Chains A and B, each alone.
Chain A
Amino acid sequence: MRDNEKATEIEVITSGDPAYPARLKEIKDYPRQLYFRGGIGMLKKRCVAVVGSRTTTTYGRNTARAIAARLASRGVTVISGMAAGIDACAHEGALNAGGETAAVLGCGPDICYPKQNRPLMSRLETQGLLLSEYEPGTPPEYWRFPQRNRIISGLSEVTVVVQARGRSGALITAELAAEQGREVFAVPGNIDSQYNLGTNKLIQEGAAPLIRVDDILDALGLNGRDEKAMLTELTPLEQQVWQVIRDRGEMGLEEICMVLDDRPQRISPVLSVMEIKGFLHSASGKFFLANR
C-alpha cells in the first residue's frame, strides 16, 4: 500500500536515478528529469499506452475501459495522457479494475487540465501516478501536448489507439511509438463514422488491427487468462505445478518432480489433466504454460 500523504507530494527523479524507467531511456529525446506524484514503481512493470481522441463515441469509450481493465487485471500498467475522452476512460477502466495506471501530463504535475478531470486526477494522485517533465506550475499550452506524447509511447511497450479522428493527437503518439520501435495497435471502427477515420487510417498504414482485447496480451507474451480466476479452477496440486512452471518457464517432468519433491506417479497425471484442460502445453518432453 502506498502512503497517501506522500503520494500527493511532488517528487522529482533524474535520468541517472535507478528508479528512472529504463524503457523511457531507450528513446533518443528522453526527459532529463521527471516530476511525479504517486507510485513511480509501477513503471517498472509491463506498460501499455491506451490513447485516443477527446471527442469520442460510446463504442470508443467502452472499448477503452474494457482494454484498460483487462490489462490492469493482468498486472499491466496502463499509460495515458489524462485528456478528456479516451484517455480519461482508459485511466478509469484501470482504476476500477484495481490495477495501476499512470497519466503523463502536458503541464505541471500540480495543474488539472482539463478541469472536468478533477475527480479523476485526485484518484490518480492516490491510487495511480501523475507524471510530467514540466516543473510544477507550468501551464498547459497546445504545443506541449505533442511533446509529452513521446513520453507516453516511450514508457510503453505497446501503444493502443482506441479511437481517433483524422487529425487527433493520438495519431502523433502512434507515429512516435512506431519511430521508437514500439508496437502499435489500432482499434478498427465503422468506416461511415469520422470518429474512426484516424484509427482506420493507422491500420491502412500498417498498424496492427486490434480484433480482440487479448491481442495485446499476446503481443506482450502474457498468458491471456485471468490468473486469479484461473487458479480457482485448479486443484491445490495443479496450482503448485502451474506456479512452478510459470516461475521457471519450460520444464520437464523430472524437474517438476524435483522442485515439488513429489513422486512422478503423482505429478504426471496432473500434467496430463492440465494439458487436456488447456492450461499447459507440451512439446519435446517439456511443459509450458498454454498461451490462451
Chain B
Amino acid sequence: MLIRMSTAAIAGVEGYPVTVETDISRGMPEFAIVGLGDATIRESVKRIRPAIRNSGYIFPVERLTVNLMPAARPKEGSHFDLPIAVSIILLMEEWEAPEKTAFLGELSLDGRINPVRGVLPMVIGLRRAGMRDIILPRENAEEASFVKDVRIRGASTLEEVIAYVEGARSLPVYRGSKSGKPAAEQLDYVQVIGQESVKRAMVIGAAGRHGMLLMGSPGCGKTMMARRLPTILPSMNDEEQMEVTAIYSVAGLLSREHPIVDQRPFRSPHHSITLTGMIGGGAKPRPGEVSLAHRGVLFLDEMGEFDMRTIDSLRQPVEEGCVRINRNLTELVFPSQVMVVVASNPCKCGNLWDPRRVCTCSQRQLESHRRRLAGPFSDRIDMHIRMMPVDRELLEQRAEDRKGLTSAQMRSQVEGARAIQRSRYAREPYSFNSGLDESGLERYCALDRECTAMLSAAYEKMNLSMRGFHRIIRVARTIADLDGQEQIGTCHIAEALSYRTVETEDRN
C-alpha cells in the first residue's frame, strides 16, 4: 500500500516541493526514511511513533518505508514530521491523500504541532507548484498568509489535521491579522543635531545607492548617522518584503508577534564576525549578514577592526547582488542587494582629526590603517565622508527654531532621484547610479567642456586615480538627479569632489 503527500524543502532561500511517499508492507517491523534526510529527519522516526500513538491512532507493526522525493537532493528540517505522520495514519485508515494540499510541521510527542523555520519560502514554492491548501503550524500562519492565492490553514494538533483531511471538521483559512505592527523605535534624522552636511551626503548616498565610508573621530556620530539611513530609503513594496521575509524565515529570525519584515533591514555585524557569518554558507547553508541586509543597509562599524579576508570577500556579493554557494553539486543563491555603509576612525587610536586630543599612533600604524581602507572591497565605496565633531559654541549660537532636515523631507528627495534612475535604467542590468559601468558612464553621464576641464584640474590638484575619477562622475550623476537636471553641471561635479575617496591625500 502506498500513499503520496505533498510538502516542501528549502535550498538556500528558495522552497521547492517535495513528495512524501509512504509504503507499508508485510515483513519485519521497520521504519526507514530515505531521500537524503539529515539527522533531524532521521530522528523524526522517534517523534512520529509516540505522536501518532498519543493522538489516539495505531502505529503499524509492519515494514514502513518513507521516501522524500526528489531523493537526490539533501534535505533538512523537522517540518517533514507532519506529512509523514499524516500519511501513515491515512494509510492505516485507508483514506486517500487530499488533492493539492501540502503539509508542514514539526510534531511533539503528544501530537501537538510546533512551529518551524523557513515557512514563507516553502509556501511560495508550494504555490508555484500549484498547491491550493497548505496546512501548517498555527504559529506560522501569519508569516505564510503573506502569500496570496493559496489557502493557509493553521493547525495545532495532529488530531485536528486528520479530522480535517477525513472531513470530520474544518480548519479555517487564516486571513492574516495585518494589524499588530509593533511600534518600532522611531529613528529620525531630525534627532541628529548639526551635521547637516553629513545628512546631505546621506541623501546622495541613499539616492544613488552608493557605498559610503564615514570617517571621523570616535563620538562624532558615525553610527547615529548610519542607523537612520533606512528611514530615508523608499519603503519596500510587497514583493521586496516577501523576499526579505523569506530570508529571515530561513534564518529563523522572524519574530513570533510580527513575522513580516516590512522595514528595510539594517544589519550591523560585530567586527569579530567570521567569513561564513558574513557571506553565508556553512555545513547547512544559512544566509550571512550580507543577505540578511538584502534590500537594506549593511553597516560595518570600525572597518579597520574586521578581518581583512572577511571584508574583501564582500566585494563580489555586493557587486553581483547575490551570494553563490556550491554545496553537494548544487548551487545555492542568497540574494544580497545591499547598500554598504562603512565607518572608520581616522587612525587606530581615533584621535588623529581631533584638535583637542593627541594621536598616539605610530607612522606604521597610520599607514596600515590607511591600507585597510584601500583593499579590493573599497572599490565598492563611492563616497568618503569626513565627519567632524561639531563645535559646541557654534551649535549654541544657532537659533532654536532652526531645526535640521527631517527623515521625511530627506526621503522625498531620495524618492525623486530614484524615480529618475528607474526610468533611465529600465533597460539596463543595474537600476542605480552606483551600478554605472564604463559604457554606462559614457551613455548617461556625458560631460560638457567645463565639467571636463574641472575634472582634469581636480585630477592634477587632488591626486585622483582613474577609479576615483569614475566614482566622482557616478556621484555627480546622483547629485544632478537630486537637482532634477539631466545634464551634469560643474556644481554637481564640484560637490561630488568633496566626497572623493581618500587614496594618497591626507598625509599629515
Q: CB within 8 Å of B: which residues of A?
A: 250, 252-255, 257-259, 263-265, 267-273, 275-276, 278, 282-286
Contacts and interface: CB of A to CB of B under 8 A. Distances in A.
A153 B196 CA distance: 50
B170 interface: no
Interface stretch (B114-122, B271-279, B384-392): B384-392
Interface in B490-508: 490-495, 497-498, 505-506, 508
A254 B506 contact: no
Interface stretch (B129-137, B152-160, B161-169, B456-464): B456-464
Interface residues of B, number: 39
B447 to A, nearest CB: 15
Given A254-B388, A255-B394, A275-B461, A269 B195 contact: no
B461 A284 contact: no
A275 B494 CA distance: 10
A254 B508 contact: no
A270 B495 CA distance: 8
Contacts of A254: 194-198, 388, 390
B299 interface: no
A283 B508 CA distance: 8
Given A264-B200, A285-B216, A252 B388 contact: yes
Contact of B197 (A264, A273, A276): A264
Nearest to A264: B197
25 contacts: A252-B386, A253-B386, A254-B194, A254-B197, A255-B394, A257-B197, A258-B390, A264-B197, A268-B200, A268-B498, A269-B497, A272-B494, A272-B497, A273-B454, A273-B490, A273-B494, A276-B454, A276-B457, A276-B458, A282-B505, A284-B506, A285-B215, A285-B346, A285-B386, A286-B388
B189 interface: no
Interface string B166-205: 0000000000000000000000000000111111100000
A263 B390 contact: no
Interface in B467-508: 479, 490-495, 497-498, 505-506, 508
Interface in B22-46: none
A261 to B, nearest CB: 8
Interface string B334-373: 0000000000001000001101000000000000000000
Contacts of A273: 454, 490, 494
B449 interface: no
A115 to B, nearest CB: 55
A113 to B, nearest CB: 52
Nearest to B199: A264
A250 B505 CA distance: 17
A257 B196 contact: yes
B398 interface: yes
Indicate the member of B387, B398, B497, B506 with the most A CB atoms within 10 Å: B497
B454 A253 contact: no
Nearest to B390: A254
Given A253-B386, A275-B461, 8 more contacts: A255-B394, A265-B495, A267-B197, A268-B197, A272-B498, A276-B458, A284-B352, A285-B388
A269 B197 contact: no
A269 B500 CA distance: 12
A258 B199 CA distance: 14
Contacts of A255: 388, 390-391, 394
Contacts of B492: 269
Contact of A283 (B194, B454, B498, B506): B506
Given A255-B394, A284-B508, A269 B387 contact: no
Interface in B197-227: 197-200, 215-216
A250 to B, nearest CB: 8
Q: Which 4 A-B pairs have the closest CB atoms?
A: A285-B386, A269-B494, A252-B388, A264-B197
Contacts of B216: 285
Interface in B390-410: 390-391, 394-395, 397-398
Nearest to B461: A276
Interface centre among B197, B346, B395 (most CB of A within 10 A): B197
Contacts of B506: 283-284
Contacts of A285: 215-216, 346, 353, 386-388
A265 B197 CA distance: 8
A258 B394 contact: yes
A267 B495 CA distance: 8
